[in-house]
Structure 1
Amino acid sequence: MTEWVEMLVTMADGPKQPVHGVVVPYRNTDEPWRFSYGSYGEEPVLPRLRHDGVHLYRWGRRTRIESMDGDPLFVSDGETAWDFTSSSERPRCTELRSVQFLGPGRELVITRPVNHWVRNHHARPTGPVTDVDFLGRRCWSVELAPRESRAMPRLSVRLVVDAASGAVLGQHSGDGVDGAVYMEVAVGSPIDPALFTWNGPVVTDAESRAQAGRGVPRRSDGAMQWFRENINAEPMHVPVLMDFTPRMVDLSDDESGAFSAPLGPSRESGDSPGWLIRRPRSQEPWRVKTHGFQVAWSTREFDWACAIYRGTLDAAAVAILQHQLHPGDPIVGAPQLVFGGSDGP
């Protein structure tokens, strides 16, 4: 049986091979679709899938949506996004992280940042990963629990992921009301990388704000733009060596081996990197008192979870930590963490 961790690693950075096909969204209700968004004052970029279908190209974090007639609608190289909804010759341009997808099918179109999946307040599987055949391809299917939201009720979501490429080929809401699927797909066929970028004139965030009467951005915004243009426009991620040696351990049950421990320097000093907790392995949701648990996993006998207050544990760091905690004891799954309980710190 495929584990959720294996499926997540395969899909986390987007399709590993070029993927192209026709995607059609569906919505089996007349109820209005509600959403909310926020911006500094510029016109938001809200791509969507047309009800009659679109041509969708994916490769890694890159995306291209075309109408069924071949007109570009939305393009992204994985960092910058261009929206052609208002103009086919001067698209609206913004950072991909500012894009807010409208309607069903987001998981097919935009690859989420890795920390979306590793932080405890985002989706976790409600059951096992199952093998399915979709469009003649070996795929995985999993249902993810809704993330907590006080603003509006959330539904679970079921994803269908191509096992070979990691491409999301289907997304369905837990109540079956809406979703989006490939009607036909080609995996591995060559795609010109130039399809995922735009070198012509654009409408920038600043121009969009000015057109909306927002005016000139604050000096700090201009300084950040200068930094992007003159120093570095890419995300800056630097691995940092941190001391995770616990200074104290709360052995809540010495017979079962459950414990919690603040990592690194004492919490009173304000420099503690985070927490490590463990319990006997269980299928029950693990209720923890605080947000921030970025990674959780299970060995044959125990469930483990680790939280850090600054930064993100990448796959290499997690592997090092796991080796130091239980060398030779393999990972067999992951517990479901739930905020607001009493089992952890």
Structure 2
Amino acid sequence: MTPWVQMLVTMADGPALPVHGTMVPYRNSDVPLHYYYGTYGEEPVFLPLRSEGVRLLRWGRRSRIESLDGTVLFVSDGETAWDFTTDPDRPRCTEVKNVHSPGSGRFLVITPRVSHWAGEHWARPTGPVSDVEFLGRPCWSVELGATENSDPPEPSLRLVVDAESGAVLGQHGGDGIDGAAFTEVTVGEPLDPSLFTWDGPVITDDESRIRAGRGTPDEPDREESLQWFRDTVTADPIRVPVTVDLSPHSVHWIDRDAGAFSAELGQGRYQGWLTRRPRSTEPWRVQTYSGQIAWSTSDFDWAIQTRRGALDAVAVDSLQQQLHPGEPVVGTPPLAFGGSDGP
């Protein structure tokens, strides 16, 4: 039985021998994939993995992705990454650590630092390392469990690693939903090191931020491009329901005797304000926002201001049922706009 530490040492610095072949990602679900990321304003770089498969070349920490017809899509020397998907003559350039990879397949393309395996993101193997054969080659297979405090919860991860070279040949989610694997592979055949670098013109992170902020010289006319979208896609308004957590983040003002309060809404991200006062015929000075809605029940006047704009009738009804179940809306309080001095 192969110890986990032996497998880890073999794969830690990427394939010790040149590796190339066809790699195919998969996703066994019709549920949309949600991927969250943040940048400093630059255009992000994503691993260009295609559902039909790609040609993947690996050697150490270096990697190169080509389409099945040989078009260069992505190159990395292990420190820097070049994305050719937008402009084959002037690729987008960034540090390899900034490359995003929704779905599975990252471990086949990018070798993480040793600290990744020693850190808190992934727990230790959930079982022993297995000796398996994959694509006619002796390999190791191991399942790694995500840490208990991962948020959102993540499935376990199964890796298939070539025992001779240390190349990751397969990456599979423990829930069986997505993964990626070589469908054919060649190990040990010489590769030209120049395949893993680029010395031509590039678009850097800084240049990408400038282009995003100011636009580019060849950016289409705004109105013309919008008209193209209307003509070729749709001219109708595009609206979809969005679930927003309006649970109070904090209550800034409260009158326990009267039952009045003013609360900031949104757990972790500001979403608006909710205020309440005893029902009154006196004008109520509230903040002026486009998402302002006010109503009255038999005992209280209510007002909510939402950051994401106006709530539709269904959303308002749901909100009122949660705030005062069984208490019907009986009217609208008299409002005085132009600032707020509390409920």
TM-score by length of 2: 0.61
Letter in structure 1 aligned against 2:4: W
The Cα shift of 1:191 comes to 0.4
Q: Aligned equivalents of 2:151 and 2:142: distance in 1?
A: 25
CA distance in 2, matches of 1:140, 1:71: 32
Letter in 2 for 1:90: R
Match of 2:274 in 1: none
Deviation of residue 41 (structure 1)? 0.8
2:111 aligned partner: 111
Q: Does 1:90 align with 2:100?
A: no
1:187-206 alignment, distance < 5 Å: 187-206=187-206
The residue number in structure 2 matching 1:181 is: 181
| C-alpha contact 2:122 2:144 (8 A) present in aligned 1 | no
Secondary structure in structure 1 of the residue aligned to 2:45: coil
Aligned equivalent of 1:36: 36
Distance 1:110 1:149 in 2: 25
Number of the residue aligned with 1:60: 60
CA distance 1:111–1:170, change in 2 (3 Å): same
- Distance in 1 between the 2:28 and 2:174 partners? 13
Q: What's the offset of the Cα at 1:36?
A: 1.1
Contact 1:170 / 1:182 at 8 angstroms: preserved in 2? Answer: yes
Aligned to 1:13: 13
Q: Partner residue of 2:144?
A: 144
- Displacement of 1:98 in angstroms is 1.2
The question of whether the paired residues in 2 share the 8 Å contact of 1:48 and 1:103 is answered with no
Determine helix, strand or coil for the equivalent of 1:145. Answer: strand
Once residues 19 and 121 of structure 2 are traced to their aligned partners in structure 1, the CA distance between those partners, rounded to angstroms, is: 30
* Structure 2 match to 1:74: 74
How much does 1:34 deviate?
1.2
Query: In the alignment, is the contact (CA less than 8 A) between 1:41 and 1:214 conserved in 2?
Result: no
Which deviations, in whole Å up to 9, do the C-alpha atoms of 1:31-59 show, x marking residues without a partner? 11111111111001111310011000000
**Structure 1, residues 72-118: CA drift from partner, whole Å, max 9, x if none?**
11100001000011111111000111111132111101000110001
When the two chains are superposed, the root-mean-square deviation of aligned CA atoms in Å is 1.4
Q: Output the CA distance in 2 between the equivalents of 1:39 and 1:79.
A: 19
**If you compute each CA radius of gyration, which structure gives the higher value, 1 or 2?**
2
In structure 1, what is the equivalent of residue 212 of structure 2?
A: 212
Give the % identical residues.
67
Spell out, residue by residue over 1:215-271, the C-alpha distance to the aligned partner (whole angstroms, 9 max, x if none).
9xxxxxxxxxxxxxxxxxxxxxxxxxxxxxxxxxxxxxxxxxxxxxxxxxxxxxxxx
Trace 1:1-345 onto structure 2 (pairs within 5 A): 1-149=1-149, 151-213=151-213
Distance of 2:99 and 2:53 partners within structure 1: 20
Give the aligned length.
Answer: 215
The aligned amino acid for 1:113 is R
* Unmatched 5+ stretches in structure 2: 216-343
- The structural deviation recorded for 1:214 is 7.6
Q: Which amino acid aligns with 2:171?
A: Q
> Residue by residue, what CA displacement relative to the aligned partner does 1:111-145 show, whole Å, maximum 9, x if unpaired?
00110001244232000000000011000000000
Q: Are the structure 2 counterparts of residues 73 and 202 from structure 1 closer, same or farther at C-alpha, using a change threshold of 3 Å?
A: same
CA distance in 2, matches of 1:25, 1:6: 27
Distance 1:22 1:61, change over 3 A: same
Residue 244 of structure 2 corresponds to none
| TM-score normalised to structure 1 length | 0.61
For the residues of structure 2 that align with 1:177 and 1:203, how far apart are their CA atoms? 35
